[in-house]
Amino acid sequence: MAVKIQLFGQLKQITGASELNSDAVDTDGLVKEITTRFPLLENLNYLIAVDRTIVQTNTFIKPGQELALLPPYSGG
């Protein structure tokens, strides 16, 4: 089952979409799929959030979870 991934900032600009669908079963697979589809993202730093929690290690993706790719940001 495909999951929806929300995109923000420059990730949204590069892909031309604010939302993507993926059949990846874990976050490592998601990164591989995204960089295959959009090679410009390969060298870009971004965070992955699963159910509004940033994950730093490979995480299993369950149907219905909320995923987001978050570009670097700065406050001011």
Task: Give dist(CA 75, CA 51) in Å, integer.
Answer: 23
44 lies in some domain: yes
55 lies in some domain: yes
52 lies in some domain: yes
- Number of domains forming the structure of the chain: 1
65 lies in some domain: no
**Half-sphere exposure of residue 71: CA atoms within 13 angstroms, side-chain side:** 16
pLDDT tens track, the chain, 76 positions: 689 999 999 999 999 999 999 999 999 999 999 999 999 999 999 999 999 999 999 999 998 899 999 998 766 5
Domain that holds residue 47: 3-14+22-60
Structure tokens at 64: 């219905």
| Residue 40 DSSP class | G
Task: Give dist(CA 60, CA 43) in Å, integer.
Answer: 23
